[in-house]
């Protein structure tokens, strides 16, 4: 990437400020393309000139941490945080496409919203009241997992005197100490990896540990160990449903180890929250549809015996524990007129079941749940 830096008219900081002001969740900056924003889940192309190679290079230089500014042309994939004081924090991903750099930038608001402000089921606050065990928040990229966990961590921060350690890549929401002390550690700056960060965090007198993302077996093993030693562990993982999440973790291990891992998960898993952000009809943006699994003694037993289908059936019937399936959540949105049948079905992983619910031939104990 040659060229003089002064050849650019693109002011990335000014652009990011405007993106925050119009409520963009993500910003895409690609060579040869106009800037793109994602607003309420929809892609919007900005009416301005296509970005030149120098525009992208200048943006990279402006946003990159100082220790890597000279390596921009040789780095392939990189995540880091950036902050415009008084506006927002950002999670920046630098990547290459056909030899050219590009940036995808997510806005991370300063304000950490409460569970109810996020339109999440209030029942998930029960997980923040626990003293130990593992709680998993799952869903596809961009489904609001980080926002949900931040809300739960801040709930603990406001209500309990605890030591909370977060291990993130990169650090997203910034917490101010309230009743708790919050220590936030960034991969490659404060600790080398998720497994290392978890291992050493156990020597830092934690009560609560948040693991930014479970990506591999080593991280799962460290997370299970931290939960077993009496800590409350929150973690995110990219899966679609509560039941699928348990199977995914078990399948990260060799077949000979899976029975043991199932026993471990059964004894320490307290619950899972799976979510998807759904665009609603009244143009008020997106709302999270959730599946909430609370691990009861019966569910523990089913996990040990690898009866995952029965686990799903229990979640469907689990209104007494405020458990809900994704389809229940979508059906509630449909009944409230927030989404059409077509939208509900497009976000469902079990369309046949949801069609039955919409037709009214579903005979579960559905109806008393807050979605």
Look at residue 288 and give its three-state secondary structure. Answer: strand
Which residue segments constitute the domains of the chain, with CATH numbers given?
5-108 (3.30.450.90), 122-359 (3.40.50.300)
* Residue 74: pLDDT band with limits 50, 70, 90: low
Residue 307 burial (CB count, 10 A) = 14
**How many Å separate Cα 161 from the centre of its chain?**
25
Q: Residue 92 and residue 83: Cα distance in Å, rounded?
A: 10
| Phi, psi for 72 (deg, rounded to 5) | -55, -40
* Range 241-261 average pLDDT: 94
Q: Provide the edge-to-edge strand list for the sheet that holds 100-108.
A: 42-45, 36-39, 26-30, 100-108, 88-97, 78-84
What are the tens digits of pLDDT across the range 323-359? 999 999 999 999 999 999 999 999 999 999 999 999 9
Pairing relationship of beta strands 208-211 and 232-237 according to DSSP bridges: parallel
Residue 1 is predicted with a pLDDT of: 37
What are the tens digits of pLDDT across the range 295-317? 999 999 999 999 998 999 999 88
Handedness of CA 365, 368, 370, 371 (dihedral sign): positive
* Residue 365: pLDDT band with limits 50, 70, 90: very low
Residue 362 is predicted with a pLDDT of: 54
Q: Which residue has the higher pLDDT, 101 or 12?
A: 12
For the chain, what is the mean pLDDT? Answer: 90
* Range 243-260 average pLDDT: 94
What are the tens digits of pLDDT across the range 15-59? 999 999 999 999 999 999 999 999 988 899 999 999 999 999 899
In degrees to the nearest 10, what's the CA dihedral of 342, 343, 347, 353? -40
Alpha-carbon Rg for the chain, nearest whole angstrom, is: 22
Pairing relationship of beta strands 269-279 and 133-138 according to DSSP bridges: parallel
Element (H, E) at 165: strand 163-168
* Residue 65: pLDDT band with limits 50, 70, 90: confident
């Amino acid at each position: 990437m040659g060229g003089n830096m002064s050849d650019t008219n693109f002011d990335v900081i000014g652009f990011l400020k405007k993106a925050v002001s119009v409520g963009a969740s993500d910003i895409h900056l690609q060579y040869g393309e106009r800037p793109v924003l994602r607003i309420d889940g929809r892609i919007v192309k900005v009416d301005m000139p296509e970005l030149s190679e120098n525009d992208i290079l200048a943006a990279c230089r402006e946003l990159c941490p100082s220790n890597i500014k000279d390596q921009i042309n040789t780095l392939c994939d990189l995540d880091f945080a950036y902050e415009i004081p008084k506006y927002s924090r950002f999670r920046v991903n630098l990547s290459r496409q056909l030899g050219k750099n590009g940036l995808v930038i997510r806005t991370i608001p300063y304000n950490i919203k409460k569970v109810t402000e996020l339109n999440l089921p209030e029942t998930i606050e029960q997980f923040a009241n626990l003293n130990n065990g593992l709680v998993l928040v799952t869903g596809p990229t961009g489904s609001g997992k980080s926002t949900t966990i931040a809300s739960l961590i801040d709930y603990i921060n406001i209500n309990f005197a605890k030591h909370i350690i977060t291990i993130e890549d990169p650090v997203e929401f910034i917490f101010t100490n309230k009743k708790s002390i919050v220590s936030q550690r960034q991969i490659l700056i404060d600790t080398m990896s998720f497994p290392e960060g978890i291992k050493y965090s156990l020597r830092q007198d934690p009560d609560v540990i948040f693991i930014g993302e479970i990506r591999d077996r080593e991280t799962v093993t460290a997370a299970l160990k931290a939960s077993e030693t009496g800590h409350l562990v929150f973690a995110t993982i990219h899966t679609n449903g509560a039941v699928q999440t348990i199977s995914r973790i078990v399948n990260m291990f060799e077949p000979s180890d899976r029975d043991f891992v199932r026993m471990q998960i059964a004894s320490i898993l307290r619950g899972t929250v799976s979510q998807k952000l759904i665009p609603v009809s009244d143009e008020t943006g997106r709302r999270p549809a959730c599946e909430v699994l609370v691990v009861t003694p019966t569910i523990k037993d089913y996990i040990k015996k690898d009866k995952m289908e029965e686990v799903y059936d229990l979640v469907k019937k689990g209104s007494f524990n405020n458990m809900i399936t994704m389809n229940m959540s979508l059906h509630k949105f449909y009944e409230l007129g927030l989404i059409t049948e077509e939208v509900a079905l497009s976000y469902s992983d079990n369309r046949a079941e949801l069609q039955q619910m919409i037709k009214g031939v579903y005979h579960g104990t559905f109806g008393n749940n807050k979605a």
